[in-house]
Amino acid sequence: MDPTLNDGGVIMPKLGNATAKAELGRATWKLLHTMASRYPEKPKADERAAVKQWIFLLSRLYPCGECANHFQRMLKDHPPQTSSRAALSNWACSIHNIVNIRLGKAEFDCSTLENVYQCGCAEDPSEVEGGLNSDDDPLLDLAQALPDAPNVDVEIDSLGAL
């Protein structure tokens, strides 16, 4: 892991639209909790480093600047716990509750995480280890369906409609 990636400050400006900020927050919590629920029970060192780096990068790149500042301050006092799925899930829940308390919202019952964030995870390691193949990737399916299409660079935003 490149330690300098975690050292910088927040990159994004303040997000003034309260509705967009709330939607972004809900989506981010869902992503974080779902990632934690799919995290390995016994992660390898590189998996631990990857999730930790992702969390620190999220704190720099989060589209809501003031939220990112709060998140960076929380990470100093409450660094990510990555030793297991349970450790990461409980860490994410406790961070979520710190935010909820600051915002005057009710605390989340961390004992219900598995029920709330059911991810439909594959429990068969053979389904997880191999990663995606062409049978699982809709973009590869699309590319194969259009073999004679010209090679055109596509903006990432335009892929959102797929």
Q: Is residue 40 part of a domain?
A: yes
CA angle 78/31/13 to nearest 5° reads 70
Q: Is residue 157 part of a domain?
A: no
- The one-letter amino acid code at 55 reads I
Model confidence, pTM = 0.71
Can you tell me the distance from the alpha carbon of 44 to that of 47, in angstroms, rounded to the nearest whole number?
Answer: 5
Q: Which domain holds residue 81?
A: 3-147
Q: Is residue 158 part of a domain?
A: no
Q: Is residue 121 part of a domain?
A: yes
Residue 9 has pLDDT above 80, yes or no: yes
Q: Is residue 156 part of a domain?
A: no
Residue 107 is given by DSSP the state P
Can you tell me the distance from the alpha carbon of 153 to that of 140, in angstroms, rounded to the nearest whole number?
Answer: 15
Domain count for the chain = 1
CATH of the domain at 130: 1.20.120.310
Residues 39-90 have pLDDT tens digits of 999 999 999 999 999 999 999 999 999 999 999 999 999 999 999 999 999 9
Can you tell me the distance from the alpha carbon of 134 to that of 142, in angstroms, rounded to the nearest whole number?
Answer: 10
Q: Is residue 59 part of a domain?
A: yes
Sign, CA torsion 100/106/110/112: negative
